[in-house]
Amino acid sequence: MNLSDVALFCAIMATGSLSAAGRQAGLSPMAVSRRLAALEQELGVRLLHRTTRSVALTADGETFLPLAQTMLEAREAAAAAFSEQREGLSGVLRVTAPNRIGRAVVVPLVVRLIAENPLLQVDLTFTDGIVDIVASGIDVALRVATLQASELVAVRLVDNPRILCAAPSYLAEHGSPERLKDLDGHACLTLHAMEAWPFQQAGQPIAKRIKGRLATNSVDTVHAACVAGAGIALLTYWDVVQELADSTLAAVALTDAEPEQLAIWAVLPTRQHMPARVRHFIHALKIELTTPSARQL
């Protein structure tokens, strides 16, 4: 199938007339009509009802139009992919991520990608809230949560279990809880939206209601208070990987329960016609998160 004729058919529908599509393509109305007829002959159907003043899709034309648009998008994606192989990644990569993972993992990666790809631009949004990636035009959202069913595409990157942790100074002064109920006697650092901490006990999920003297809407604040020795926090592995490695924080293990297991997900608006810059970023991020050295930061 001649994709130029397919593009001309789409242009006719976009402009509303054969002559307007011809002016865009530098063709006479007669030439446009001949090429449209050739496309209809190849498909074996009539695509348009046409008069001297207007065009309208036939039933077969309505079926073919989205297929035609998909073919043209695929052609553009293929051309862009090979262009980026020759010239490097290009365009604007828009990413949103939680604050701590964004700063610790995403920033070093995109700095390297920008250095390696002079035509690439990156737009970063770091927030612990949920961003509507479709409305915001985001290419990739990193999420650390139990994902809800949606039309978005989710790619699992790496495990990111929740971890009970505290500063060694806090544990030296107050001791370490051994059982889930022991948390009632400790200073727990809580988030406004998380009054109960999720655990697994005897293979079943259980929510442990937590009370503490410090509550905040910010994971960064919980992290800072925990490092300062203010109490026990429930954070995720990638929030505290550096502090666990240098012993600024210590993991607290309970004998009768373990914190909920989570993962880091890359969430995309669609899998179709994914730009090379998005594919490359996800691939590079997965390598970054799963190499042995990453877990020893």
Local confidence pLDDT in tens for the 297 residues of the chain: 888 999 999 988 888 888 888 888 889 989 999 999 999 999 999 999 887 677 899 999 999 998 998 888 777 767 666 655 556 788 899 999 998 889 888 999 999 999 999 999 999 999 888 888 888 889 999 988 766 656 778 889 998 999 999 999 999 999 999 999 999 999 999 998 888 999 999 889 999 999 888 999 888 999 999 999 999 999 999 889 889 999 999 999 999 999 998 999 999 987 666 788 898 999 999 998 887 555 443
pTM: 0.64
Q: Which pLDDT value is given to residue 296?
A: 44
Angstrom distances, CA of residue 18 to CA of 44, 49, 52, 57: 20, 12, 9, 13
Q: Measuring CA to CA, which residue among 174, 175, 168 is closest to residue 247?
A: 168
- Cβ–Cβ contacts within 10 Å for residue 249, how many? 26
Contact between 164 and 234 (Cβ < 8 Å):
yes
- Structure tokens belonging to residue 170: 């806090």
Q: Measuring CA to CA, which residue among 141, 144, 146, 145 is closest to residue 131?
A: 141
Q: Measuring CA to CA, which residue among 53, 55, 82, 70 is closest to residue 6?
A: 70
Contact between 268 and 274 (Cβ < 8 Å):
yes
Q: Which amino acid is at 255?
A: T
Contact between 222 and 215 (Cβ < 8 Å):
no
Rounded to whole angstroms, the Cα distance separating 183 from 137 reads: 42
Q: Which pLDDT value is given to residue 37?
A: 92
Q: What is the largest CA-CA distance in the chain?
A: 89
